[in-house]
Amino acid sequence: MQETFIDTEELSFQDFKNEILANYKLARISREMSYLGRREVLTGKAKFGIFGDGKELPQLAMAHVFRDGDFRSGYYRDQTFALAVNALTVESFFAQLYADTNVDREPASGGRQMNGHYATRTINEDGSWKDLTKIKNISSDISPTAGQMPRLLGLAQASNFYKEIKFDGAEKFSNSGKEVAFGTIGDASTAEGHFWETLNAACALQVPMIVSIWDDGYGISVPTKNQRAKANITEMLSGFQRQEGENQGCEIIQVKAWDYPALMDAYAKAEHFAREESVPVVVHVIEVTQPQGHSTSGSHERYKNEERLAFETEFDCLNKFREWIETYSFQFEEGGDVQIIATKEELDQIEADAKKAVKDGQKQAWENYQNTITELKNKALPLVEAMTSQNSEITDFVTKFKALISVGKKDIFHLIRQTLLSTRGTNSAERQALKQAYESLFAVEKDNYSSHLYSQSEWKATNIAEVKPVYSETSEMVDGRMVVRNNFDKIFEKYPQAMIFGEDSGNIGDVNQGLEGLQEKYGALRIADTGIREATILGQGIGLAMRGLRPIAEIQYLDYILYCLQGMSDDLATVQYRTKGGQKAPVIIRTRGHRLEGIWHSGSPMAGIINLVKGINVLVPRDLTKAAGFYNTMLQADEPALIVECLNGYRLKEKQPDNLGEFTVPVGKIEVTKEGSDVTLVTYGSTWRIVIEAAKELEKLGINAEVIDIQSLIPFDLSSEIAESVKKTNRLVVIDEDVEGGTSAFILQQIVEKQNAFRYLDSAPICISAEDHRPAYATDGDYFSKPSTDDMVEKIYAMFHEVNPAKYPAIY
């Protein structure tokens, strides 16, 4: 039996007393942080504030059962919990409120996230993993309500994997699967689909997960009765309660937010169920108060009546906690001394000490933040002032700058840029000095605000070397599905920490048999079926990857990506960015798409995807060998990726490489698949085959086309090879099965603007894309909905007709 809080919590009265008083002091510090934080916003020293006042007591109870190696996926009001597990200090709390970009002072996000969003740094500066079993882990918070829930599922499920899976280095991520994942969510957000999908999946998978619902009766101003079918979420969840002898469902515990002994007991039981029995637990914390309302954006007096406001004062958890401490007494034996925890005077002193500690921390955080700005100003202002004799405008700029009540970085850079603009065309030594200083200072701020969208480690995807497929006389021609299937076989043999899961991925080996027989070989834990729940399939992947595993989350069709696009965009794509390199989640999302049948199974929502998932590599192989190579590449990388297999390529014949599991396809590199001299045709994915057919037809018409397969949409052609092709051909056509203005517009901008290929063009570039509607059903529907060979030939031919109508007479 594994030890839990219930097993180990045996205290002397003195230890008990010390623990209670330490908890009271920490709770008071947290409350004072909330009070002072609000004042800092309302006086203009910070932009926005959202605080955890009213939730101090339940979070202290939760922290008591949170151990090294455990993970939290939470909600932006958990400051007391973060304090209690040493993931937050008073200074770092205010540093985040002020958006201090110094990671040492604000380690959660380097000033990139608004206050209340916490994270621990789970990777080292070089991108390598820390020993996660030696620290208490907080996965980086996000604001979208309930958006933290899908990730929680994967964080919890990882413990089940580590109970069964062993590999070199696993000891850095788990102590034989004994860890629990803790989630927190506001009561109103339980109306979100992500909450229900996550809890449903957790109950089916039986993962060690504890979800705390902070129930304060409102979702901003909307009361609970208007949020759900039942005002009481415990009552609504009653069907999820596990039955004796069944391996399904969860435990549900309801407890009042102001009842300290009951809270300690509730979380001790929750931990026991989760850690010892691997059972999900819901702790419904009721009668939570919000002393300052929802946020600094408004007052809760606008929507709470006098009765509710009076209740919140009376049942404020800290008032009740103090009341309990003051009235607590214990007598060891009859006639013996009566023991108390603290006197009124002692508690008053604790509160005074807490207030002072918070004020001191805030003062130091503000001083640190201001010193950064002062240092920047001291470097820039003298250089600007040195130029006032050159231009009277600069004197006005300086005067206005010095009149500012408060100065931010933007004001300093605005002054520099105004000065450089007004002195354009001159080349004095003073201007050169200012220009050099600007470039140096701006580079620092570029890193402060824009670094780590992708990995900066040695395992960055673009650092993975290309290993070409090896073929021999004995290399077989097989269905494309067999190439990817046999490559997966090598992957799961090579990487014991790799697993794949999705709808129909396990027993039948996916809908296209790309995993045929692999569940039987590697087990149902690693090759797993899931329910129809795309958001939490993605969430499983994020959470598992955050705990050192290498998950491949399969979304059955590209169209279904829309169900998990919110999580891809808000969570996965921003992990490295929003922690400034403090966390990573190298999950691979496997899907298949392009050109099959009908509105819901052959769409190409790539424009939406590439614009919403910057931070994820988007890879679009033209065949299954290329797809296999991308899997091999990304399993060596520490970044997330979306790999889109060609849905109509599984039954097409391909020569199977001899070095399965080893060959790689480079990320961010195009391939010229047909050389030509007259026009550059740029495409990707399944459309490539049709473009090749069109190029052959154009050849008959006297047009020699060069065909380029992009292969990687994000990142895009890092060596600008397409521009070199356009330099040779002087004409450009972008061909895509996405809607007009979709991915083709992105590709065109990259080539014409970013690669400066416009200078080589002798004709206006054109895009050949799909109709603006979804593709209609069947082969004829595809023909009239998406670019066909005929469309391509005619539109490209028309380009040459415009140039030389005599040589290329009109078709129509």
Residues marked active site are found at 601
Contact 478, 653 (CB under 8 A): yes
Contact 81, 59 (CB under 8 A): yes
CA angle 429, 434, 436 (to 5 degrees): 95
Q: Could you tell me the two tokens for 138? A: 């907080």
Other CB atoms within 10 Å distance of the CB of residue 207? 26
Contact 584, 132 (CB under 8 A): no
Phi-psi region of 418 (alpha: psi -120 to 50; beta: other; left: phi over 0): alpha
Q: CA end-to-end span of the chain, whole Å?
A: 82
Find how far residue 670's CA is from the centre of its chain. Answer: 27
CA angle 537, 539, 543 (to 5 degrees): 125
Other CB atoms within 10 Å distance of the CB of residue 333? 6
> What whole-number distance in Å separates Cα of residue 22 and Cα of residue 15?
10
Asked if the bond preceding 715 is cis, omega within 30° of 0, the reply is: yes
Rg (CA), the chain: 30
Cα separations in angstroms, 28 against 16, 17, 319, 663: 18, 17, 10, 58
Collapsing DSSP to helix, strand or coil, 58 comes out as helix
> What whole-number distance in Å separates Cα of residue 663 and Cα of residue 467?
5
Phi then psi dihedrals of residue 244, to 5 deg: -60, 130
Question: Scanning the structure block, which residue is given the tokens 């990259």?
Answer: 750
Collapsing DSSP to helix, strand or coil, 726 comes out as helix
Collapsing DSSP to helix, strand or coil, 764 comes out as coil
DSSP state of 751: I
Q: Could you tell me the two tokens for 732? A: 């450009």
Closest CA to 287 of 252, 321, 256: 256
β-pairing verdict for 712-714 and 617-619 = antiparallel
Sequential DSSP letters for 363-414 = HHHHHHHHHHHHHHHHHHHHHHHTTGGG-HHHHHHHHHHHT-SS--HHHHHH
Contact 682, 751 (CB under 8 A): yes
β-pairing verdict for 71-73 and 181-186 = parallel
Angle between helices 13-42 and 317-327 (to 10 degrees): 150
CA dihedral 299, 300, 302, 307 (to 10 degrees): -140
> What whole-number distance in Å separates Cα of residue 73 and Cα of residue 146?
10
> What whole-number distance in Å separates Cα of residue 573 and Cα of residue 155?
17
> What whole-number distance in Å separates Cα of residue 45 and Cα of residue 591?
47
Find how far residue 213's CA is from the centre of its chain. Answer: 22
Contact 597, 650 (CB under 8 A): no
- Specify which residues 682 forms β-bridges with: 708, 734
Q: Using CA of residue 117, residue 120, residue 125, residue 126, what is the dihedral sign?
A: negative
Find how far residue 681's CA is from the centre of its chain. Answer: 35
Sequential DSSP letters for 169-233 = TGGGT-STT---EEEEEEGGGGGSHHHHHHHHHHHHHT--EEEEEE--SEETTEEGGGTSSSS-H
